[in-house]
Chain A
Amino acid sequence: MKPELMKRMVKGPDGVEFEVEPLRDYFCEVPPTVMPAAYIKIVEDLFNWARAESIWILGFGTGCGAIEMRPLMTPRFDAYRYGVQWRPTPRQANLFIISGYLSTKTLKRAIRAYEQMQNPKYVIGLGSCTINGGMYWDSYNTIKRLDDYLPVDLYIAGCMPRPEALLAGFMDLKKIIRAGKGEGANQYAENFAWYKENQKRVIHDWDMPDYNW
C-alpha cells in the first residue's frame, strides 16, 4: 500500500496533531446493496422506458474502440437523436462502455468509475478484446473476460466494430432495459464478493477501499 494511504499522525497548520486514516476518513466503506425495483409495476415500466430512451454514457474510453464512439456525435451518425448523450462524470452516467482492451491499470479506474455510477447502470463491452481478450489474448497485463470483473449487459463483437454496430448495440440495449433485464447493478451487489475476488486477483497493488462510492 502506498505510504500516503497509511494510517498516520498529521500536524495541522494550527499545531494540533491528529490522526488520519485515509481509507476510513475519505471513503465510505458500506458495500453496495440490492435496490428493489419500484413497488408498482406500471411505475417501474415507466421508469424503464425513460431509462431506455435517455441513455447517458460515461465519456471514458479504454482501448482502440474509444475512437469509434466519437463519430457517433457527428452529423453522420448522430446518436443524440436516439436519446444517447455523453456525460463527463460517472455520477450522472448510466452506461459505461468498455471500449476495447482493458489493462489491469485501467481496470482499477474502470472499477472506481463503475462503482460511482448510480443504480440502474449498464455496461457494454465493445470489441472482441472485452469478450475473450481478442488480439491481446496472451498479453501479460490485459484482462481477458470483462464479465469476470464487471457485470456486462451487452457485447458488441468486432475488431473494431463500426459506429453502426454501436448504434445497433444501443438499440438492443434499449430492448433489454425496457424488458426490465438491465439489472447489472443489482447483480454486482449480489455477487459482490465474487467480483471483488476476481478483481483483486489481477490488481496487485490494491490501494483503494473495497467499494468506492
Chain B
Amino acid sequence: MDFDWMKIPYAFLTVFIVVNYGFLMTALIQKIGARVGRRYGIPIWQNYLDMIKNYGLRSSITHGAMFYLGPVFRLSGGVGLLLFVPSIYGSYMFSNLSFAGDLILALYFVFFGTLGMALGAAESGHPHAAIGITRGLSQVSMAELPFGLAVFSVALQYQTLSVTDIVAAQQGGMLTWTLFTNPLAVSAAMLSFLGSMMRPPFDVVIAPQEIPIGPPTEYHSSYLALMQTNRVIFPVAKIVIYMNLFFGGATSWPEFFLKVFLIYMWSAFVGVVFPRFRVEQSIRWFLVWAVPLGVLSIMVV
C-alpha cells in the first residue's frame, strides 16, 4: 500500500481548523440558547479562556493509570473520528486518511471515547461517576442504535462502505442528497443525533443540575481541558459524518462551516424547546420512535 506522508500534516491542519471552529461554534450555540432565555450569554471566546485556565491550574491529582487514559481515549475517539472521514469532498488536502470501508471504523470511533471515559471515571472511585457512566452508556447505546440502522440502510442503498463514495453519489444537486433519496434513514439518524449530542432534552447524563455531572465528576485541571477540547471536536466530527452521509458532504470550508452549523442548530432548536428526559424515558423514546424508523428504512431499501 502506498501511503502518502504529506497527508499527515494536512490532517493536522484539519484538526486545527476544526478545533477552533468548534470552540467558536459551541460558544455561539450557547449564546443562542442564552438569548432564547433572554440572557446575554457567555462571551464568544469564553471556551478558549476556560481551556487556558484549566491547563494553567497548578495542581492536579490522579487516581491511577486508567484515570489518565480516560480523557486521552476520549480525545483520540474524537480526533480519530475526524481523521478517518473526508471533511471536504474532492479536496486532496482535506480528505484526511479516509479509505474504503471507513464507515465501519467511524462507527467504532463514535463509541470508543465513551468506553474509555467509562473506564477512567470508574477508576476515580467516585460513586456519582459510576452512576453517571451507567446512565450515560445506556443512553448512548440506545441512541446509537437508530444511527447504526440508518447507516446500514445508507450503505445498502449505495452499495458501498466508503464515506467518500457515498458523498460522491450525492453530488448531483440537492435532490440527490440522501435526505431526499432515503428520508426514512435520515429521520432515524437525526433523532439519534439528538441523543448523542449531549444537549437537552437528552443531556441528563452530564447536566450540572443532576447527579453531579456524571462521568467527569472527578476530572479537573488538564484532564478537564483535554475533555473540553474533545467536547468541541467530537460534535463537529460527528456532524461531518452526518453531513457526508445524508446532506451531500461539503466541497469547500465555507460550505462545511455552514452545513455543520445548521445541523448543530437542529439539536439546539430541539434543546431549547423541550425539557430534559430522564434516562429511562429517553431510552423508551428512542425505542418507540427512532428504532422503528431505522428498521423501516432498511426494509424499504
Point out residues on A near B: beta carbons under 8 Å: 28, 35-38, 46-47, 50-51, 53-54, 56, 59, 74-75, 78, 80-81, 83, 85-89, 91-92, 94, 118-120, 185, 213
Contacts and interface: CB of A to CB of B under 8 A. Distances in A.
A38 B46 CA distance: 22
A92 B213 CA distance: 11
Contact of B52 (A47, A78, A86, A91): A47
B42 A86 contact: no
Contact of A83 (B46, B209, B219, B220): B46
B125 to A, nearest CB: 9
Interface of A is mostly: loop
Contact of B217 (A38, A86, A91, A185): A91
Contact of B34 (A28, A80, A83, A120): A80
A91 B59 contact: no
B298 to A, nearest CB: 41
B281 to A, nearest CB: 22
Interface string B14-41: 0000000000000000000010011111
Nearest to B47: A54
A53 B208 contact: no
Contacts of A86: 208
A91 B59 CA distance: 11
* Chain B interface category by residue count: 20 to 34
Nearest to B208: A88
A92 B52 CA distance: 14
7 contacts: A36-B58, A80-B42, A81-B41, A81-B42, A88-B208, A118-B58, A118-B60
A51 B40 contact: no
A92 B40 CA distance: 24
B213 A54 contact: no
A87 B208 contact: yes
- Between B208, B209, B216, the greatest number of chain A beta carbons within 10 A of the residue's beta carbon is seen for B208
Contact of A118 (B57, B209, B212): B57
Given A78-B40, A80-B41, A89 B213 contact: yes
Q: Which of A46, A88, A91, A94 has the most CB of B within 10 A?
A: A91
Contacts, number: 85
B221 interface: yes
A44 B84 CA distance: 38
A200 B116 CA distance: 41
Closest 4 CB pairs of A and B: A47-B56, A50-B52, A119-B58, A119-B59
A87 B224 CA distance: 12
B220 to A, nearest CB: 4
A75 B219 contact: no
Nearest to B56: A47
A89 B132 CA distance: 14
B212 A47 contact: no
Contact of B53 (A37, A47, A88, A185): A47
Contacts of A59: 208
Contact of A50 (B56, B212, B219, B220): B56
Nearest to B211: A88
B218 interface: yes
A92 B49 contact: no
B58 A46 contact: no
A179 to B, nearest CB: 16
A119 B57 contact: yes
Contacts of A185: 58
Given A54-B53, A89-B217, A78 B39 contact: yes
A85 B41 CA distance: 11
A54 B218 contact: no
A147 B205 CA distance: 37
B39 A80 contact: yes
A119 B60 CA distance: 8
Contacts of B216: 92
Nearest to A82: B43
B255 interface: no
Contacts of A75: 37-39
B49 A83 contact: yes
